[in-house]
Amino acid sequence: MELTIILIIILAIYSLLILQLVFGFDKVKTFTVDEKTPKTAFTIIVPFRNEEKNLPRLLESFSNLDYPHELIEIIMVDDFSKDQSERVYINWRMQNNDIDTTLLENLKLTDSPKKDAISRALPIAKNDWIITTDADCEVKKNWLKTIDNYIQNHNVEMIASSVIYKTKNNWFHHFQQLDMMSLQGTTIGSFGIGKPFMCNGANFIYTKKLFHELDGFNGNDKISSGDDVFLLQKAVAKCPEKVHYLKNNQATVKTKPENDLFTFFMQRVRWAAKTTGYKSTYAQFLAIVVFMMNLILIIGLWFVVCRCLDYKILLAVFLTKYLIDFFMINKANTFFMKNRIILPLASSFIYPFYAVAVGIYSLVGKFYWKGRVYRK
């Protein structure tokens, strides 16, 4: 009886929080680009390490940008690559000398190479508007034009926008896309309800002036990840009215899903490890509730196996969560992918085990990324 009550209470809180985010998703209006002449000068910062296979796609997408090249500066920061990444960049630069580009070597100043790379590039950035993205991404032709138009139409100093996967037709990639849709839906929903706490550093825009006013990454430079969310949360605390979400598919960046389970797990652990550093009470509460919702389903399954809980109760809770999750994921998928999605029961059954494993390991374990070992 006690477990049944706990199940119902956690499910009720979880459902209210997720439905609130679904409501918030619609409150963030899709931005419509008008015919203003581009005028914002951008510095794009790309940290990279051992990305010789991915850089050609990113650099090619930069070449195809429909934006005045005199308003673009690109700073590539090499984080001690051991492959031919630098050669790939040099070859591209020789063919695209009309774009202002610089290659820097990273400096190890903290336990966070990506924060080091951004901090290394910022002092020499010629433009006030900074965009960070990743080496395994691709940007759309109208990416900068859409961001510029938003800046011209709003009094803003920081903009978060979307990142989705460019997937192949297999279950593992599909599972990652569902997970990403959940994250994107949560991000947009949190902006819609006035409690933004998430963003993605692969598509993150802010002014150099604001970065310095926030004292950059100082205060969280001991945490290996979080070059995006901690800066966002600082900005929200200081000037929430100047922190916006740009909801427009032309501003979306595409990235690659992982192809093996270990790398995928380590990536998610790296993402989860920063949640304990959140300053937002709402974000902390949401993370705890989501974790507890998944954990209680696993505990409930064990009780069913031990015949201490009626399976019909657990099934009802599971199906209710499934429906709530569908609302969120379908909302995001309909916007980004332009089609409705069927949330597979198999993925929903696996997800609690995945989420709990990632959550626990991120608190107690070390993770591997780009050939390095990190501790929380």
**Domains along the sequence of the chain with CATH:** 2-24+280-363 (no CATH), 29-259 (3.90.550.10)
Q: Are strands 366-369 and 204-207 parallel, antiparallel or unpaired?
A: unpaired
Q: For residues 64 and 59, what is the distance between their CA atoms, to the nearest angstrom?
A: 9
- Within a 10 A sphere around the Cβ of 119, how many other Cβ atoms? 22
The CA distance from 203 to 223, in Å, is 20
Q: What is the pLDDT of residue 121?
A: 97
Q: What percent of the chain has pLDDT over 70?
A: 97
What rounded mean pLDDT belongs to the chain? 92
Interacting residues of 125 by C-beta distance below 8 A, sequence separation 6+: 43, 45, 73, 75, 208
Region 16-39: mean pLDDT is 96
Q: Which residues pair with 131 in a beta bridge?
A: 44, 205
Judge whether 228 and 200 are in contact, CB under 8 Å.
yes
Encode 171-231 in three state secondary structure: HHHHHHHHHHHHHHHHHHHHHHCCCCCCCCHHHEEEEHHHHHHCCCCCCCCCCCCCCCHHH
Q: What is the DSSP letter of 159?
A: E
Is the predicted pLDDT of residue 196 greater than 90, yes or no? yes
For residue 221, name the pLDDT band (cuts at 50, 70, 90).
low
The predicted structure's pLDDT at residue 346 = 77
Q: What is the pTM of this model?
A: 0.94
Are 250 and 142 spatial neighbours (Cβ–Cβ below 8 Å)? yes
